[in-house]
């Protein structure tokens, strides 16, 4: 088996259904799809697909992102791993292009996400039509085609990325010391760079990011972000997620002094409502 596609999910059945539909339209079907269900209610169930699907149940509180991705990789059988967030619809050429790229490059490879509007891919959809309406991320430029090396390890994102299975194992996967939401992917990118693994951005094909509301900054994950920021600072001597931390400081939710960060209070319901927007995450 060449490629395993891996996704993690909690309570997003509509998004998962479109990811599965997109994979079924791929030029090259994956060897398998691994789904880690992080306590969805009801639990994830999948109808018949033209490729094998395996579901792993992960019974942990909150959003154990690092542990879930590691569980998916542990269960996968492919020589190549393609991680897709559940709100992504892979384009027809993604699996083929990622396999070809990983054949030629022993690297950490991110593919581009194009962002859909609120009425796109809600039921029947056509890739050409989606392509005409989708928009690129405002601050993450990708090459039009081919691969471009990215020197800033902080720009690694776990939304859509590929890696050879043996390299994922050698890196030790995601650090599960980062519990819940935030910084686990930046840490993975930093550890890949420390291991002299190139970070490449791949253009020409990728995935469509399905619309959903987000809270920006992610106030609902404040406690996780503070805890994980402490760990990242201890490991790397710098703060991750600077934009979010700056916003939390401005709102007097946290305080930073030197290497320390303190959680002053939790956000109010009003603050959470005001932060709810519809922008790329």
**Is the per-residue pLDDT at 184 higher than 90?**
yes
* pLDDT confidence tier of residue 139, bands split at 50, 70 and 90: confident
Question: What integer best gives the mean pLDDT of the chain?
Answer: 94
pTM: predicted TM-score of the whole model, two decimal places: 0.94
User: Residue 177 has what pLDDT?
Assistant: 95
Superfamily (CATH H level) for 3-209: Spore Coat Polysaccharide Biosynthesis Protein SpsA; Chain A (3.90.550.10)
* pLDDT confidence tier of residue 226, bands split at 50, 70 and 90: very high
Q: Mean pLDDT lowest for which of 52-56, 160-164, 167-171, 256-260?
A: 256-260
* pLDDT confidence tier of residue 1, bands split at 50, 70 and 90: low
pLDDT average, residue stretch 133-159: 93
DSSP readout, 25-74? Answer: T-SS--SEEEEEESS-SSPP-----SS-EEEEE---SS--HHHHHHHHHH
**Is the per-residue pLDDT at 278 higher than 70?**
no
Rounded CA gap, 195 and 198, in Å?
Answer: 9
pLDDT average, residue stretch 54-73: 94
DSSP readout, 118-163? Answer: TTTTSSS--HHHHHHH-EE-TT----SSEEEE---GGG--SSEEEE
Percentage of the chain lying above the pLDDT 90 cut: 89
**Is the per-residue pLDDT at 196 higher than 60?**
yes
**Is the per-residue pLDDT at 161 higher than 80?**
yes
pLDDT tens-digit profile of 3-48?
999 999 999 999 999 999 999 999 999 999 999 999 999 999 999 9
Q: Mean pLDDT lowest for which of 48-52, 136-140, 200-204?
A: 136-140
CB contact at 8 A, 7 and 34: yes
What are the residue ranges spanned by the domains of the chain? 3-209, 214-277
């Amino acid at each position: 088996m060449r490629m395993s596609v891996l996704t993690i999910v909690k309570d997003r059945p509509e998004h998962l259904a479109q990811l599965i539909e997109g994979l079924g339209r791929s030029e090259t079907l994956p060897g398998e799809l691994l789904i880690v269900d992080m306590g969805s209610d009801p639990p994830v169930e999948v109808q018949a697909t033209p490729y094998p699907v395996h579901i792993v149940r992960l019974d942990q509180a909150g959003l154990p992102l690092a542990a879930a991705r590691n569980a998916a990789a542990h269960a996968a059988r492919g020589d190549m791993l393609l991680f897709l967030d559940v709100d992504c619809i892979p384009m027809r050429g993604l699996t083929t292009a990622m396999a070809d790229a990983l054949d030629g490059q022993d690297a950490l490879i991110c593919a581009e996400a194009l962002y859909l509007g609120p009425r796109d891919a809600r039921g029947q959809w056509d890739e050409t039509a989606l392509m005409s309406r989708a928009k690129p991320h405002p601050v993450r430029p990708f090459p039009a085609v081919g691969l471009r090396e990215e020197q800033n390890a902080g720009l690694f994102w776990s939304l859509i990325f590929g890696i050879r299975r043996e390299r994922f194992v050698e890196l030790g996967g995601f650090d599960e010391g980062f519990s819940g939401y935030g910084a686990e992917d930046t840490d993975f990118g930093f550890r890949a760079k420390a291991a002299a693994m190139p970070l490449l951005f791949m253009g020409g094909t990728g995935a469509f990011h399905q619309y959903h509301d987000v809270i920006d900054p992610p106030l609902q994950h404040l406690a996780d972000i503070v805890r994980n920021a402490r760990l990242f600072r201890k490991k790397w001597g710098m703060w991750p997620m600077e934009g979010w931390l700056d916003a939390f400081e401005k709102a007097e939710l946290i305080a930073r002094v030197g290497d320390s960060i303190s959680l002053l209070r939790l956000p109010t319901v009003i603050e959470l409502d005001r932060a709810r927007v519809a922008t790329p995450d």
